Structure 1
Amino acid sequence: QRDGGVNRLPKPRPAPRTRPARPARPWPARLRRSTIASREEAWAPQPPAHPLMASHDDDEKALGSRKMPRTNRYAKCLVLVCINLSNLVCHSVYSVLASFFPQEARAKGLSDEPIGLVFAVFAAVIFISAPFVSTALNSHGKRAVYVSGQAIVAVGTMFFACADNITNLPAYFSWCFVLRCVQGFGSALEETAAYALIAEIDPEAVSFNLGVTEISTGLGYMIGPTVGGFLFSVGGFALPFVAIGVALLPAILLILWIVPDDRLTGRQQAAAREELAASTPMRHLLARPQIFAIALTAILGNSDYAFLEPTLAGHVESIATSSTAVGMLFSVTSLTYTLAAPLMGWLSHKDKMGPRNVIILGIALQAAGFLLIGPSPLLPLAHRAEEAMSLSVLCGALFLFGLGEAMSMTPLMEDMMLSCVDRKDDAINALSALMTSCFSLGQMIGPLIGSFMAARLGFRWASTLLALGLMLHACVLVYLQRLSKPHQAGSMLAALTGQLPHSPVGADELSALNAHGDDIRVAHGDIDHDDDGGSSDAARLQRKWQS
């Protein structure tokens, strides 16, 4: 009333002015994700049971292009590098004795048979222990098994250096024998867990990763005698073992830092047992002549190289007077094998060759190498053995042997897959276990047979008998190939049915053709595709196959 009787309402307060929300700024690249967080994300367990597989949608394109996803690519590469480094060192443990241990053991008073046992027991323990490591992988995880194997190998190798201080002959042999058993058990843990880790690093590129691992395996066999002979000449008996044991420690620490604990839960263990029960038993594979013959090839291929380890040093004493020179002779074979293995894998995929032909040619080259290493008494230059055994002839023979080793060993897995009448996915686990067992068995019996025959017949006749055995096995493979003709029309049948081409078409294969008649695409000129089914195509294919 005091302002003239005008009842004025208070002015409303203006609404506060708000700014539009800005999108959050991304963290700088170096702070976007910490190292530990990215490592845990890369190895976080996912439902597909592949801890290393990424679960991000933006990484599907990377998976489809056979490249590791960006979120865990560097962690995978680092794990693969660590596995290959430890694999190289562990395989050099097996071959490091070849350049100096036989001479030192003979100086202590050991004969060739105990020396061969020391070499052979390493692979024997792997052959016995490897089938049981899968249980430890399921219960304790891959990281624990892998690191435990590396630690056992490192400790056993370093304790081997104390053998030179033992003067009692039985105690010296027992010490070396027991420590080689310890090294073999640790290698069984390490190798089995390494293959399991490689299979999970990138399931889309398992073959490539395994190929890289095979290169480190060949390098380990190659540098073992060479490095062992050099370190022995520099620091005596103990230095090679201490150096190799210490070299494993960085790989152990890196694996502990990168790989998290991956123990399986109870449900995952049950799923793993079901998958193992669904796979093809190994005894069913060995019942087939084609697979049995290729398994025997794997045994012979490893045993003939192991044959040289306890015997070659004594045979070339007049030429290679030092342990370093003996190690260089071994490196000729290992280097040839390492460099030729990728080329032989490519050659075995060619239609004109095929894996079986490459294997047979490789066995023939191995036999030729053994005939020249002696040289064999059956050759015309046998009466001039001392003159014929020159350094150039030895290097040429070892080169032929290494090339034949690469040709006969690289296509084995592919040939066994082609020889399996079951589906490849069901038989892959059994085939992998079979190959590992055959490799270890060959490494076990090679030094035993080599030491036994060299002590009683001499190196020249021992290598000659081994060459004749290789030739006989090559003839058996040729006979089986001509009997079943697996590599001529078998590739077409395998493409149609997913079955193995080494056996004639039976009822199961014919029913598979009839069931999938609509999907048949035959490249052969005189087999047509019918719209009403695949029965006519299957009948023609069966008649042509049986003829």
Structure 2
Amino acid sequence: TDQPPDAQNLIKLIIFKTIMSKSLTSSPNQRMTRYQILTLISMASVNFSSMICYSILGPFFPSEALKKGASQTVVGLIFGCYALCNLVGSLVLGKYIVQIGAKFMLVSGLFVSSVCTILFGLLDRVPEGAPFISLCFIIRSVDAVGFSAAMTSTFAVSAKVFPNNIATVLGSLEIFTGLGLILGPPIGGWLYQSFGYEVPFLALGCFLFLMVPFNIYVLPTADPTKDSFFRLFTHLKIVLICFAIFTLSSGLGFLDATLSIYALDKFKLTSGYVGLLLLGLSLPYCLSSPLLGIISDRFPSIRPWLMVIGGLSTATGFFFLGPMPILQIERQLWLLVLMLTVIGFSLSMTIIPTFPEILNCAYEYGFEDGLSTLGLVSGLFGAVWSIGMFCGPTLGGFITQQLSFEWAASVQGGLAFLAVCMHIYACYYTDSSEGERGSNTVLVWCS
């Protein structure tokens, strides 16, 4: 029922997803099999349908919630609770994806999310105040579990079916994620302006429901594993990458909860134009993800520096988004659009390398090569993303209410800059015992 974004969830929500290519039984240039083609179509439909439903809230829901008696902080919590439940769902479902079954998890997640999207469209009939706010929390929490099920399965299944040059495949799949994020806000804003609150959710919820039978295809299986998320977190490199993921999702979650209200208030835009404004964020991400996926596959050694450059760009985007009050720069609509574009592009530059880096670390540290590990890494990625999507709108909404949007955006920029500093430290100051692998926490970031 919302975006990531982001992503994601973004990404976002969202998201947003690549894997270090590993040579298994086939050549990277081998033609795709029928099974791989069907899987690719399935994953693309999941990304698109989930993201278009996830992103429709941005242009109109925050202002609609304010009319129903919710404060800016509560609006942030409504967005944040989605991410919190997504966090729990990603951890649990990522751990037990083999036992549950990837196919069942994916289809069930789509079904739950579609029903919740439709129910969310009926909330305008609920009395304002506590009843409305309570049902917002309940429906979005259940929706988050369904979303985490679908997206965790997408990560793991795509990685299993495309073991060679998977960054290119998943980078290409981000076209459909981006299309969902691009089309969601303007379609949602237009439907809201033309037909009212209910129609955007009912129409897109039914569309998501139609994706359920389309995605009933055979998916890979694997044996259970004894590995755990806690073992992943014993390695400092993985922790640093996860912090970078956190800063990205936090920033996107913050924009979800606050940007539309800021644009409506400061620039007097309509909900339809706010939806178009969000294109500045999602369109660059959509266009750049496939190219960056190819670059990540062909030149894996530059992944850390893609993250550093992307992080610096993200920090710059948030510092000038408001802009930061101490800069004494007058707010301008063109500057807001430009900085959203910078953030959208830097998002793909930063997030594309993170998934393969975590997976590569897992293999280096002795995790088994199979769907079980892919499920763990997918769940970890989704969980960390969800933590950011919870903290971003919650704390960002609070700071916006107490201070201003400009200061809240500056805080998000500061987090991104901190992640960059940690990356640079990891690049230049590696542990003296970098030859040891497995159970130690040595940093071999730039080897």
Given residue 204 of structure 2, which amino acid in structure 1 is its aligned partner? Answer: I
Counterpart check, 1:325 vs 2:289: no
1:272 partner SS:
coil
Counterpart check, 1:481 vs 2:427: yes
Larger Rg: 1
What is the Cα deviation at residue 346 of structure 1? Answer: 4.2
Q: Deviations over 1:46-72 (max 9, x none)?
A: xxxxxxxxxxxxxxx987853233xxx
Q: 1:342 aligns with which of 254, 267, 290?
A: 290
| Equivalent residues in 2 for 1:122-137, closer than 5 Å | 122-133=82-93, 137=97
| Equivalent residues in 2 for 1:126-275, closer than 5 Å | 126-133=86-93, 137-139=97-99, 141-204=101-164, 206-256=166-216, 259=217, 272-273=223-224
Given residue 358 of structure 2, which amino acid in structure 1 is its aligned partner? Answer: M
Counterpart check, 1:416 vs 2:358: yes
Counterpart check, 1:504 vs 2:447: no
Q: Deviations over 1:130-151 (max 9, x none)?
A: 2332576545543333222211
Aligned to 1:106: 66
| Equivalent residues in 2 for 1:377-388, closer than 5 Å | 377-381=325-329, 388=330
Aligned to 1:448: 394
Structure 2: distance between partners of 1:161 and 1:469: 34
Given residue 467 of structure 1, which amino acid in structure 2 is its aligned partner? Answer: G
Tell me if the contact between 2:86 and 2:382 (Cα under 8 Å) persists in the aligned partners. no
2:429 partner SS:
helix
TM-score by length of 1: 0.69
Residues 431, 463 of structure 1: alpha-carbon distance in 2 compared, 3 angstrom cutoff: same
Deviates more, 1:214-223 or 1:139-148: 139-148
Given residue 406 of structure 1, which amino acid in structure 2 is its aligned partner? Answer: S
| Equivalent residues in 2 for 1:11-50, closer than 5 Å | none
Counterpart check, 1:401 vs 2:343: yes
Tell me if the contact between 1:130 and 1:188 (Cα under 8 Å) persists in the aligned partners. yes
What is the Cα deviation at residue 361 of structure 1? Answer: 1.3
Given residue 272 of structure 1, which amino acid in structure 2 is its aligned partner? Answer: D
Q: Identity, % of aligned pairs?
A: 27
Aligned to 1:438: 384
Structure 2: distance between partners of 1:348 and 1:196: 19
What is the Cα deviation at residue 80 of structure 1? Answer: 2.7
Counterpart check, 1:314 vs 2:278: no
What is the Cα deviation at residue 453 of structure 1? Answer: 0.9
Counterpart check, 1:84 vs 2:48: no
Structure 2: distance between partners of 1:62 and 1:367: 41
Given residue 450 of structure 1, which amino acid in structure 2 is its aligned partner? Answer: G
Extract unaligned runs of 5+ from structure 2. 1-24, 439-445
2:215 partner SS:
helix
Residues 194, 289 of structure 1: alpha-carbon distance in 2 compared, 3 angstrom cutoff: closer
What is the Cα deviation at residue 430 of structure 1? Answer: 4.2
Residues 288, 166 of structure 1: alpha-carbon distance in 2 compared, 3 angstrom cutoff: same
Q: 2:31 aligns with which of 61, 64, 67?
A: 67
Structure 1: distance between partners of 2:294 and 2:242: 21
Q: Deviations over 1:70-111 (max 9, x none)?
A: xxx1x5434432332232121222221111001111112210
Structure 1: distance between partners of 2:436 and 2:263: 58
Structure 1: distance between partners of 2:360 and 2:89: 28
Counterpart check, 1:459 vs 2:425: no
2:55 partner SS:
helix
Given residue 143 of structure 2, which amino acid in structure 1 is its aligned partner? Answer: Q
Q: Deviations over 1:376-433 (max 9, x none)?
A: 111132xxxxxx3222111111111112212211111344356565257556654433
Structure 2: distance between partners of 1:103 and 1:224: 17
Tell me if the contact between 1:340 and 1:406 (Cα under 8 Å) persists in the aligned partners. yes
What is the Cα deviation at residue 128 of structure 1? Answer: 0.4
Residues 285, 192 of structure 1: alpha-carbon distance in 2 compared, 3 angstrom cutoff: closer
Higher relative contact order (CA 8 A, sep 6+): 2
Structure 1: distance between partners of 2:155 and 2:375: 12
Structure 1: distance between partners of 2:207 and 2:109: 14
Cα RMSD after superposing both structures? 3.0
| Equivalent residues in 2 for 1:338-377, closer than 5 Å | 338-348=286-296, 354-377=302-325
Pairs aligned (count): 412
Structure 1: distance between partners of 2:101 and 2:437: 40
Aligned to 1:42: none
Tell me if the contact between 2:95 and 2:379 (Cα under 8 Å) persists in the aligned partners. no
Structure 2: distance between partners of 1:395 and 1:162: 32
Structure 1: distance between partners of 2:213 and 2:394: 37
Structure 1: distance between partners of 2:98 and 2:360: 30
Structure 2: distance between partners of 1:474 and 1:147: 38
Residues 458, 505 of structure 1: alpha-carbon distance in 2 compared, 3 angstrom cutoff: closer
Deviates more, 1:334-343 or 1:189-198: 189-198
Residues 130, 503 of structure 1: alpha-carbon distance in 2 compared, 3 angstrom cutoff: farther
TM-score by length of 2: 0.83
Residues 255, 403 of structure 1: alpha-carbon distance in 2 compared, 3 angstrom cutoff: closer
Q: Deviations over 1:231-251 (max 9, x none)?
A: 111111001100111112332
Q: Deviations over 1:179-211 (max 9, x none)?
A: 111211211222233334434545446444433
Given residue 111 of structure 2, which amino acid in structure 1 is its aligned partner? Answer: A
What is the Cα deviation at residue 466 of structure 1? Answer: 2.1
Tell me if the contact between 1:98 and 1:327 (Cα under 8 Å) persists in the aligned partners. yes
Structure 2: distance between partners of 1:64 and 1:116: 44
Residues 415, 150 of structure 1: alpha-carbon distance in 2 compared, 3 angstrom cutoff: closer
2:325 partner SS:
coil
Tell me if the contact between 1:139 and 1:263 (Cα under 8 Å) persists in the aligned partners. no
Given residue 66 of structure 1, which amino acid in structure 2 is its aligned partner? Answer: Q
Q: Deviations over 1:317-365 (max 9, x none)?
A: 2325211111111111111112122333444567697112221111111
Given residue 337 of structure 2, which amino acid in structure 1 is its aligned partner? Answer: C
Residues 237, 62 of structure 1: alpha-carbon distance in 2 compared, 3 angstrom cutoff: same
